[in-house]
Amino acid sequence: MQNLSKNQQIIFDLIDKSNEPMKAYAILFNVQKKGIKAPLQVYRALDKLVEIGKIHKIESRNAFIACQNSSCQVSKATAFSICESCEKVTEINNSSLSKYLSNFKDRAGMKYSKYNLEFFGLCKKCITK
């Protein structure tokens, strides 16, 4: 596991300490005082962090969260639950699920190397509201 570069570290630290997914331009705004001034600097760091599995992109939200699953070094098998009311996102770490999906074969004969799953619903808090 290589070390992160300066920009990568700054941006990872920010996302990691956030308790919700962060959007690219919110990240940019937050790191401007650290000298990162342009969108591209943010996107490049995000690309790399996604590639090495330190963060994941929540595709339906165009937002990024730190990996909450220590075994998930590379972003090849990701699953999330998303509350449609409060937008809380949690990475699902369930070995039955990941085993089922990693072994899934469709009749089309495709060779899968990666998947991303997003569940939507209401979190515990929001159900009772």
Binding mask 67-96 for a copy of itself (x = CB under 8 A): --------------x-xx-----x-x-x--
Q: What are the two backbone dihedrals, phi and then psi, of residue 114, each rounded to the nearest 5 degrees?
A: -165, 150
Binding test (CB under 8 A) with a copy of itself, winner from 24, 50, 52, 101: 101
Q: How far is Cα 80 from Cα 86, in angstroms, rounded to an integer? A: 15
Q: Is 126 in the site for Zn ion (CB under 5 A)?
A: yes
86 binds, among Zn ion, DNA, a copy of itself, none (CB under 5 to 8 A by kind): Zn ion
Burial class (CB in 10 A: 0-12, 13-18, 19+), 120: exposed
Tokens encoding 52: 């090495």
Region of 2-10, 22-30, 46-54, 102-110 interacting with a copy of itself (CB under 8 A):
102-110
Q: Is 19 in the site for a copy of itself (CB under 8 A)?
A: no
Using alpha carbons, select from 74, 44, 75, 80 the residue that is nearest to residue 61. Answer: 80
**Contact predicate 18/88, CB 8 Å:** no
In the complex, the residues that contact Zn ion under the rule CB under 5 A are 67, 69, 72, 83, 85-86, 88, 123, 126
